[in-house]
Homo-oligomer: A and B are copies of this chain.
Amino acid sequence: MAVVHENDLWTYCHDLARQARDAAAELASVSGEVKNSWVLRAASDLRRRAVELVAANEKDLAAAPGFGLSAAQIDRLKLTPAGVEKLAHALHEVVALPDPVGELIEGSVRPNGLEVQKVRVPLGVVFFIYESRPEVTVDAAALCVKSGNAVILRGGKEAAHSNRALHEVLLDAARATGVPEHAVQLVTTTDRDAVGHLLSLSEYITVAIPRGGEGLIRRVVDEARMPVIKHFTGNCHVYVDRSADLAMAERIVVNAKCQRLGVCNAAESLLVHADVAAGFLPEIARRLTDRGIELRGDAATRKLVASAIAASEEDWSTEYLGPILSVKVVGSLDEAIAHINRYGSQHTDAIVATELAACREFARRVDSSAVIINASTRFNDGGQLGLGAEIGISTDKLHARGPCGLKELTTYKYVVYGSGQIRQ
């Protein structure tokens, strides 16, 4: 697609949105078989065209320093032949997931004989706004189309060449398999105003899903005229109860904090019951410090862990996304729950305990998308929880909470069969 002139930007965005709406209406009549054949075709085309994709990605890599990307960011941007293979493999997993569209969610016959069916249907048009990782382009497109939605993709400018090449593959596969061409569209202008225009087009776009830093999400929330599925911070806790198996607690804390640092379901805060603090904290502190984790503790923690620096009030609500952990000694389960509900981000919180009552109380009262009992916080993930792939993890309570998989990309309609019933 040619470069868009500024004065045509509104028309360009409007056309994209209208085409997406029309494609969504067409998709309602496309069978699961055809959608799956598109995904499979895309997978084989990705493999076949890997050289071309890697070449496009190299243009982005060459330009990356000019965008001021850090080494870590460049690493995330990079698409290797092995990365293309991984992408294709992920598409096969999407094919294997059950088609959510048409599921009969509930059904009943009313006393007057009306047969009421609550049937799962696609949302319509998804506007997906994300940052630099090019894999996301393919993942998101596959999930949206498999769930019967048209999608408008707006990736980061740093990945522009990669995204165009990937989109070309998806588009060719659509043409080859009978999926509407406009089911997957890529915003090819890097003009930031395009996002604002698209966010105003609520007559065409059903939902906006931003995936990226807090700044991006806030901007989308502020400008969107349609609902937004949001993914804000993951300030996740592990609470080690006085009844905990301390060896298990150690494994879980180390995994939750260290297995991957920069992710939303990594632990950012450790709460330890006072009764086990002396037996647990010095050892876990040593193990975490060995892995390069800085500890920021309250007074009680610092009495037991000399290396810990003082935590400020702000630390309790901070998502570090890095090698820092805040640590607090709590006097009771109640105090732990109150702390989590006050400072946490309702994302993922874990308890390690052997006492049934403590686990049940924690599960009931901690108001988070996932409450984990005796396992790592890192399991709050679509794949790990059995949803299959995910387009993001929602920190909202409305519509989707936690991982957003295929089902969360759908809504429902009531289909009511009668035999002439009228209302009295």
Does A411 belong to the interface (CB within 8 Å)? yes
Residue pair B110, A384 in contact (C-beta under 8 Å): yes
Residue pair B385, A422 in contact (C-beta under 8 Å): no
- Choose one: B29, B254, B371, B414; the contact of A385 (CB below 8 Å): B414
Report chain B residues within 8 Å CB of A252: 420, 422
Report chain B residues within 8 Å CB of A419: 374-375
Residue pair A401, B412 in contact (C-beta under 8 Å): yes
Does A396 belong to the interface (CB within 8 Å)? yes
Instruction: Map CB proximity to B onto A375-404 as digits: 1 under 8 Å, 0 otherwise.
Output: 110111000111000000000111101100
Say whether, besides A397-B206, A411-B401, A245 and B368 are in contact (CB < 8 Å): no
Does A278 belong to the interface (CB within 8 Å)? no
Residue pair A375, B420 in contact (C-beta under 8 Å): yes
Report chain B residues within 8 Å CB of A29: 364-365
Residue pair A375, B418 in contact (C-beta under 8 Å): yes
Say whether, besides A227-B227, A411-B397, A385 and B110 are in contact (CB < 8 Å): yes
Does A415 belong to the interface (CB within 8 Å)? yes
Report chain B residues within 8 Å CB of A227: 227, 396, 398-399
Residue pair B341, A25 in contact (C-beta under 8 Å): yes
Report chain B residues within 8 Å CB of A375: 114, 416-422
Q: How far is the CA of A293 from the CA of B116 in the complex (A)?
A: 30
Q: How far is the CA of A417 from the CA of B370 in the complex (A)?
A: 11
Least Cβ distance of A76 to chain B in Å? 19
Q: How many copies does the complex hold?
A: 2
Does A307 belong to the interface (CB within 8 Å)? no
How many residues of chain A are within 8 Å of chain B by beta carbon? 62
Q: How far is the CA of A379 from the CA of B207 in the complex (A)?
A: 28
Does A255 belong to the interface (CB within 8 Å)? yes
Chain A interface helix/strand/loop/mixed = mixed
Say whether, besides A29-B365, A123-B397, A378-B423, A371 and B413 are in contact (CB < 8 Å): yes
- Choose one: B365, B370, B376; the contact of A421 (CB below 8 Å): B376
Does A312 belong to the interface (CB within 8 Å)? no
Say whether, besides A398-B207, A416-B370, A416-B372, A423 and B379 are in contact (CB < 8 Å): yes
Does A200 belong to the interface (CB within 8 Å)? no
Say whether, besides A29-B365, A363-B415, A398-B207, A423 and B259 are in contact (CB < 8 Å): yes
User: Can you list 30 A-B pairs with a CB-CB distance of less than 8 A?
Assistant: A25-B365, A28-B364, A108-B386, A114-B384, A116-B386, A123-B397, A123-B398, A124-B367, A227-B227, A229-B398, A251-B420, A251-B422, A252-B422, A368-B413, A370-B415, A370-B416, A371-B416, A373-B416, A374-B417, A375-B419, A375-B421, A375-B422, A376-B421, A378-B423, A379-B423, A397-B411, A398-B399, A398-B411, A401-B413, A402-B413
Chain A interface residues (CB < 8 Å from chain B):
25, 28-29, 108, 110, 114, 116, 121, 123-124, 206-207, 227, 229, 245, 248, 251-252, 254-256, 259, 341, 359, 363-365, 367-376, 378-380, 384-386, 396-399, 401-402, 411-423
